[in-house]
Amino acid sequence: MTVISGPGFASSAGYFEQRALRARDESERQRLLEVAEFYRSLARIAPALPSGFKLNGYGPANTRLQRWQARAEECRVLADHFKDPHCREQLVRLAETYDELALGRDS
């Protein structure tokens, strides 16, 4: 499992793979590995962020709130670049999920 720093789907996959290694039980581990595989599949479709991608004012994510906000923005920007409506919808839903996490976690 390779962890890649910086924004991008491969980096997100690595994050969830690392979390799976520390999972408390098998069901949590499997869930985290499924999320990681979802990100790996997105990384195969979009291996790099679109040129001109910016985190819109978000610097390095130091808190959970900032990480969720940055990931939500990343998904919204990428959704704008996909032509397939199914992919766009999935990315928008993922962004909404990150937004909900940001509202519930502030540290």
pLDDT tens readout for residues 28-87: 889 889 888 988 988 888 777 666 666 555 555 568 788 888 889 888 988 888 889 998
Report the predicted TM-score, pTM, of the whole model to 2 decimal places.
0.51
Q: How far is CA 107 from the centre of its chain?
A: 18
Q: What are the residue boundaries of the structural domains of the chain, listed by start?
A: 1-49, 61-107
How far, in Å, CA of 74 to CA of 103, rounded? 17
Query: Which pLDDT score, from 0 to 100, does residue 4 have?
Result: 44
CA angle 92, 95, 101 (to 5 degrees): 145
Cβ distance 45 to 87 under 8 Å? yes
How far, in Å, CA of 35 to CA of 71, rounded? 14
Query: Which pLDDT score, from 0 to 100, does residue 74 have?
Result: 87
